[in-house]
Structure 1
Amino acid sequence: MMNFVVKTLANAGALGVAVWLLTPDIELTGNSTADKAWTLILVALVFGLVNFLVKPVVKLISLPLFILTLGLITLVVNALMLLLTSWLADTIGLDFHVDGFWTAVVGGLIISIVSWALNVVLPDGD
């Protein structure tokens, strides 16, 4: 359980950095800071769920592309997962929106780097 909380907080932090760096293209709206923080945590939960359920299937289907591109297709897969998270967030009424594929590619790269760094720094449940 502690590992899930740490990973969700790391995802929320990484999403927050991506929103901060790509503000006009990745939007997180809300009335107050508390609303934005709550929305960010909920979006991190959706993002974690998408990465847990959908990403392995997409990686398995696109395995030949992973081999052909020596793993660079991971940038595209991460961008698609971020766009799917944006769509799901809009569907369930969360104020989070990613504007376009290339923004999602850069955002996915930022989220991957920051999430990795936060997972190294933050303790896990092991």
Structure 2
Amino acid sequence: MRFLSWVVTTAIAVAVATLLIDGIYFTGPTHGQDEIQHKLVPLLVVSLILGVITSFVKPVLTVLSIPFIIITLGLFLLVINAALLKLTSWVADQLDVGFHVEGFWPAVGGAIVITVVTWIVDGLIGDSR
């Protein structure tokens, strides 16, 4: 059950990021029922890709970046999250999912939005353990 809520939470956060940040988008229809039908599965796939990358790559990058994290008082974690979002976009592009992050600043904005929305949705859903 926790896995399902995690995937849904991440999918909601990515969807909000695509709505709020220019430069983060899914390809395909842009209005109506067609948009929902065309982008639902790619949204879930992107949330899974982001989760796998965050689970395996982020701990390694965080440990390797400890000096930068200390010097920047933790702000370098935002750069790491932006890089992970760009990596997610690259993997999604390789899998022909249709998710794109164009540039560094949209990735930073998307990382902030995804983090905040995830916190909010997790707070609303609560821990099911």
Q: Is the pair's TM-score, using the shorter chain for normalization, greater than 0.5?
A: yes
How do 1:56-75 and structure 2 match up within 5 A? 56-75=59-78
2:42 equivalent in structure 1 = 39
Root mean square deviation of aligned Cα: 1.1
What SS class does the counterpart of residue 93 from structure 1 fall into?
A: coil
Unaligned runs of 5+ in 1: none
CA distance in 2, matches of 1:53, 1:112: 18
CA distance in 2, matches of 1:124, 1:34: 29
Q: Check if 1:30 corresponds to 2:18.
A: no
Q: Check if 1:125 corresponds to 2:128.
A: yes
1:9 equivalent in structure 2 = 8
Amino acid across the alignment from 1:25: G
Deviation at 1:39, TM superposition (A): 0.7
Amino acid across the alignment from 2:15: G
1:93 equivalent in structure 2 = 96
Amino acid across the alignment from 1:47: L
What SS class does the counterpart of residue 15 from structure 2 fall into?
A: helix
The superposition leaves residues 60-91 of structure 1 with CA deviations (integer Å, 9 ceiling, x where unpaired) of 00011111111011110110000000000000
After TM superposition, where is structure 1 displaced by more than 6 Å over at least 4 residues in a row? none
Amino acid across the alignment from 1:18: A
Deviation at 1:120, TM superposition (A): 1.1
Identical counterparts, % of pairs: 40
Amino acid across the alignment from 1:14: A
Amino acid across the alignment from 1:28: F
Unaligned runs of 5+ in 2: none
What SS class does the counterpart of residue 25 from structure 2 fall into?
A: strand
2:113 equivalent in structure 1 = 110
Deviation at 1:13, TM superposition (A): 0.2
User: How many aligned positions are there?
Assistant: 124
What SS class does the counterpart of residue 79 from structure 2 fall into?
A: helix
